Structure 1
């Protein structure tokens, strides 16, 4: 499955997810999201007691991850048994590549830099609103840049490294199950009154499956930092555990140390202010040049990950 993971990364880096294919077939995550929404409506009725809603949430995440993974397993078995090996690898890698986001993540974060340069803070707020959940109206220019950097680091872990990790370990069923869990967490894994009980299992499982990838993402970012590799490693060791997420703090701390910018800190989600600790020793006055440095670091981290995959295939 290492060969499939490496080929999927190459295909997605070159082609991304073509717009014409999205218009024709939509995206696999759209179907997963529809399943999550259906189970949320059916199994998370407000008239049910909290204990029952938590148990229903466990059942829901089993179905959300299990059904797509079983379908992917059937596709993988059919490809391996009925197609020549090179064609089977191409089919499986093409399917897996639709669940990676290395190219699209770069495009969306680069759009924030372009918007800030061309349209100032208002345009930057609009661009960053597509990749972060916080209230963009509360962000000044440096905060827009920091938000984009944090999204770049966190989504490198859960949009690129984690899917590839589970693809390399478990093949197409692994990457499909991971994306299903990750999608469920983004939709129902919130501490809102409606999802506090029902989304508990999705949130905890998402934390678990992202644990190895968050550490790997921090490692790739630190290695990509060049002369600041030791600084990045020091900030990860000191600050990764300060983040409210058990996983997001690792790549964000690595990014903070590599660029020399403080990340995380207090932020606003709607009417709620979250008082997170700062990660890193640098300034909070991030600029467009820093965001371009972060994008260059991201490209290098992706390249390092690709080389490691190729070495694993060769070995």
Structure 2
């Protein structure tokens, strides 16, 4: 396992994030993968029979994974051939840190809290529109807070725990492969007429690779709920009762854990582009979430990130003993 690499990457990302100056100059690994996906979509996507559409989608997914992973492995071989081991680890950790979004996620969700405090309903709607796809104009203050907490919960799994897990198990190529799959799912893995068949492989693969992380995220949130401000009993109860009822096989775990820990109701019916999506409620608490609930959710998230880092350190210590 690549525990030293993973812990170093987490610490780098927590300290520095991904600087905006670098993003403006060269973009981000996810945007590079996104351009590859767009190119393959133009080449292989479009109206086709069900069988051909699925075959083209499977081919596209294979290329979406193989090309970034192949480049990563080739770069690693060159680095290890020409550079000392310690410098290689540092460079790999720096690259791996760009695939983890713990600081960026915290900052984006905290911006919603700041928007509500400083700009009221309009400010909250502007901020939450940056992190969720639902119609912001339909959200009242409680709806904005619930949307931000739901995004925090789900992206804790997809954006933080999952890349950390695959990085720890398979090293940098594992994290790159995960990011490629997850980006493909977000771009082509939905049920629109264009992508229902072409994006099927990406959606199914993303569901599979997120299974470990979604359960781990729920565990980190349950452990975080042991501290003041959360309810571990509520988190465990919500997971057992509600996680499997979510339309996603994975998102229900962190959302239910967060809802139960905060004694809230999350998810439920939501509106996207004028269409109401009927989803099950996660948790059986209040739905009149307020700014203090968003602050508590951010605290649980920070504790969850800390618990994850401590567990990695514990594993690393145990391996080295």
TM-score, length-scaled by structure 1: 0.98
1:272 aligned onto 2:290: no
2:291 maps to 1:299:
no
Quote the Cα distance in structure 1 between the aligned partners of 2:309 and 2:77. 26
Shift of 1:28: 1.0
State the partner residue of 1:257. Answer: 260
What is the aligned-residue RMSD (CA, Å)? 1.0
Q: Tell me if structure 2 keeps the 8 A contact 1:79–1:92.
A: no
Aligned residue in 1 for 2:156: 156
Counterpart-to-counterpart distance in 1, 2:36 and 2:148: 30
Figure out how many residues of one structure are paired with residues of the other and give that number: 314
Q: Give the structure 2 partner of residue 40 of structure 1.
A: 41
**Secondary structure class of the residue paired with 1:221:** helix
Superposition deviation, residue 26 in structure 1: 1.0
Partners in 1 of 2:167 and 2:89 — Cα distance?
12
CA distance in 2, matches of 1:312, 1:87: 23
1:231 aligns with 2:234: yes
State the partner residue of 2:73: 73
Where in structure 2 are the equivalents of 1:173-212 lying within 5 Å? 173-212=173-212
Deviations 1:91-149 (A, max 9, x none): 10000001110000000000000101111111111100100111111111101000000
Q: Could you list the per-position Cα deviations for residues 195-249 of structure 1 after superposition, in whole angstroms to 9, with x for gaps in the alignment?
A: 0000000000000000100000000011001152122111111110011000000
Give distance in 1, aligned partners of 2:226 and 2:305: 14
Equivalents in 2 of 1:200, 1:272: separation in Å?
22
Q: Measure, in 2, the Cα distance between the counterparts of 1:253 and 1:259.
A: 10
- How far has the Cα of 1:77 moved from its partner? 2.7
Contact 1:161 1:213 in 2 (8 A): yes
Q: Could you say which residue in structure 1 is the equivalent of 2:290?
A: 287
Give SS of 2:279's match.
strand
**Aligned equivalents of 1:102, 1:145: Cα separation in 2:** 19
Between stretches 270-279 and 205-214, larger displacement belongs to: 270-279
CA distance in 2, matches of 1:2, 1:112: 33
Tell me the distance in 2 between the aligned counterparts of 1:103 and 1:257.
24
Counterpart of 2:117 in structure 1 is 117
**Superposed displacement of residue 24, structure 1:** 2.1
SS in 2 for 1:226: coil
C-alpha deviations, 1:283-312, integer Å up to 9, x for none?
A: 000000100000000000000000011111
Q: Distance in 1 between matches of 2:234 and 2:175?
A: 32
Give deviations 1:49-89, integer Å, cap 9, x for gaps. Answer: 22111100000000001110111112223333432222111
What are structure 2's unaligned runs of at least 5 residues? none
CA contact (8 A) 1:162 1:213 kept: yes
Secondary structure at the aligned position of 1:246 is classed as coil
